A and B are shown apart, each in its own frame.
Chain A
Amino acid sequence: MATTTTNQDSQVIMGRYRLGPLLGRGTFAKVFKAHKVHTGEAVAIKVFDKEAVQRSGTGEQVMATRSRIYFAMEYASGGELFTRLSRSTRFPEPVARRYFQQLITAVEFCHSRGVYHRDLKPENLLLDARGDLKVSDFGLSALDGGAGGSPRGDGLLHTTCGTPAYVAPEVLMKRGYDGAKADIWSCGVILFVLLAGYLPFNETNLVILYRKITESNYRCPPWFSVEARKLLARMLDPNPKTRITISKIMDRPWFQKGTCPLGDMPLIASAPSVLEAKQQHDEEEDGLAREKKRSKVIMSSPTIEVRPPSMNAFHIISRSSGLDLSKMFDAEHRLEARFSTRETTTAIVSKLEEIAEAGRVSFKLKEKGRVELEGSQDGTRKGALAIEAEIFQVAPSVHVVEMRKTGGESPVFRDFYKQELKPSLGDMVWAWQGGDSPPPALVPATGRRPITRRP
């Protein structure tokens, strides 16, 4: 790779970091040891080579400032494939195949350049304005092998919602694995989800889930065609050595069926519901009838239906902290919190469920993106605590989650919020809103003031 890092030992980037020795090298990036110029603090810096990134065809550009790293990439205005799937519950086979063809083509392209995704899942599948599938985050984990020695699978489990549902058995078992074969397994799971509208391996109990995955123990619903079943069986082969290869997938008659130039034509012909979702996306408020077509969110069995209401502009505006005069009275008495996230509703819901489980409170998913957490009546402090969380869609793939106390004592709520809810949400949160907890980067040091709890 043609990088331009000359004179590495003395190079200072952006006046802030003095580059040290090369630690590792990936497809698009190198990792250097570096030191903060002012403090001498040691850091690792991942330097992406723009040319290499551009050459790779992913079209991403990376920029960095002190507090942020920017990835400029193609705007997938069609949102997540998953969202589309949520609207129509499951895809008819020709539509699923079309997405699958695009997925396999993209994966094959990257594999041919030695890049493995390792975290293929619906959240990483985006649609552009024309409805064509784009795979995001490809190559972001490209350094795992280079910097850390032999490839290891544990990085894979650090997905936001912590579900191994898409992960190949050999990865789960933390054996050394072939990235290409692991990606094929994930593609198989995705194909199943596209066709079925739910996951092939789905258990709340992780032990059982692991067992089902390693045994490839799944069942196809009756509407799957014979060819689709056969292909799935070859892709979800627990043995990576005998698992089908990308080129063999592409050779299959089922895969080649209905191959047509990528554009809107096949979509129009075969899937009115998808087209409708695409073109009338922003008119969805108009058709109340369409509201009834609730989507499915895939999580613990049985599948649960969620459809977050989308917020109109005034709803969003009305939540400005500048319009919240209650803060003049007493900020500490606030019994609600709000954050935005780029996670899917599924991830949000399963995170809340996880938190509920850990905090030993009951978890109830209501319709329309509402979740209720309730303390069990076991005489503990949390007994009467009840929290409602509501999920709204602000834009494609941006959700706002509002949580408020609906029962129980205020101090109990605040403790639960501060000690369990807020820390557990962690990375899922894009930004806390409402002004009570601005993201640290936004608060000037002089203006930061801890909330006084006692006079």
Chain B
Amino acid sequence: MGCVSSKQFKGAAEHEDPAVLAKETTFSVSEVEALYELFRKISHSIFKDGLIHKEEFQLALFRNSNKKNLFADRIFDLFDLKRNGVIDFGEFVRSLNIFHPETPLADKISFAFRLYDLRGTGYIEREELYEMVLAILNESDLLLSDEAVEQIVDQTFRQADLNSDGKIDPDEWKAFASKNPALLKNMTLPYLKDITMAFPSFVLNSGVDDEEL
């Protein structure tokens, strides 16, 4: 288990024992170790301190450390359980666990709710949905008129906001997401099921990241 030793890197954060993490999550010990390889790769892509910084996360997702994206920001913030601006290994594994194919749907639904509840009010408000639709359209280089965006948001609220109070509460979200399972497709990463198999290919292709630096 030398690969997870915190003494490997000067000033690196203490990494939690894979056995503890495996116990808390769906991952086996060897899967946690495989995840460590991924974590090490990402957390050493720029700052080399054994913690994933926002820029490193963006680099891993977009191959570009400067690419801002509302949703990537949200994911990062949710992964950052201790809310200290970086993701440590324990946070990484626990958060990725949500994305495991065998994780109960209820956990994924609740994670997605927090993801979309941008301001953490306990509700997905109309303005939040509007903001997110604008962000995705912008990201996709889709220029739609304000009316068209309003229409998309209105239509969605009509389906999801069952009590028509202008916000989606967790129960409404649960009902909506259960009815539209495709919404949660991105909450499952098939890779995680055989991370130990998937991982070698990551190593093989990982030369990609360095070019950016």
Chain A residues with a Cβ under 8 A of chain B: 75, 77, 282-283, 285-286, 310, 312-333, 340, 394-396, 398, 430-431, 433, 435, 438-439, 442, 447, 449, 451-452, 455
Contact = CB atoms under 8 A, between A and B. Distances in A.
Given A320-B135, A447-B67, A330 B156 contact: no
Interface in B74-93: 74-75
Contacts of B74: 322
Contact of B139 (A310, A315, A318, A321): A321
Interface string B154-166: 1110111000000
B5 interface: no
A315 B151 CA distance: 14
Contact of A340 (B140, B151, B180): B140
Contact of A322 (B73, B116, B147, B211): B73
The secondary structure that dominates the B interface is helix
A313 B124 CA distance: 12
Given A325-B99, A325-B189, A77 B147 contact: yes
Given A313-B153, A321-B61, A395-B152, A330 B136 contact: no
Contacts of B175: none
A431 B141 CA distance: 6
A328 B191 CA distance: 10
Contact-residue size bin, chain B (C-beta under 8 Å from the other chain):
35 or more
Contacts of B67: 447
A452 B201 CA distance: 12
* Residue of A320, A333, A396, A433 with highest tally of chain B CB at under 10 A: A320
A321 B154 contact: no
A318 B38 contact: no
A449 B208 contact: yes
A340 B151 CA distance: 18
Given A282-B151, A313-B152, A452 B142 contact: no
7 contacts: A283-B155, A313-B153, A317-B71, A318-B185, A322-B73, A325-B75, A395-B148
A368 to B, nearest CB: 13
A435 B62 contact: yes
Contacts of A451: 208
Contact of B148 (A317, A329, A396): A396
Contact of B147 (A75, A318, A325): A75
A433 B180 CA distance: 22
Contact of B66 (A286, A317, A433, A447): A447
Contacts of A317: 71, 116, 132-133, 135-136
B180 A312 contact: yes
Contact of B189 (A319, A326, A331, A455): A326
Contact of A329 (B133, B182, B202): B202
B61 A312 contact: no
B201 A321 contact: no
B131 to A, nearest CB: 10
Given A430-B142, A449-B211, A319 B136 contact: yes
Nearest to A339: B140
Interface string B116-157: 100000000000010011011101111011011001111110
Nearest to B203: A455
B143 to A, nearest CB: 9
Interface string B169-184: 0000000100010111
Most chain A CB atoms below 10 A, which of B160, B183, B211: B183
A396 B139 CA distance: 19
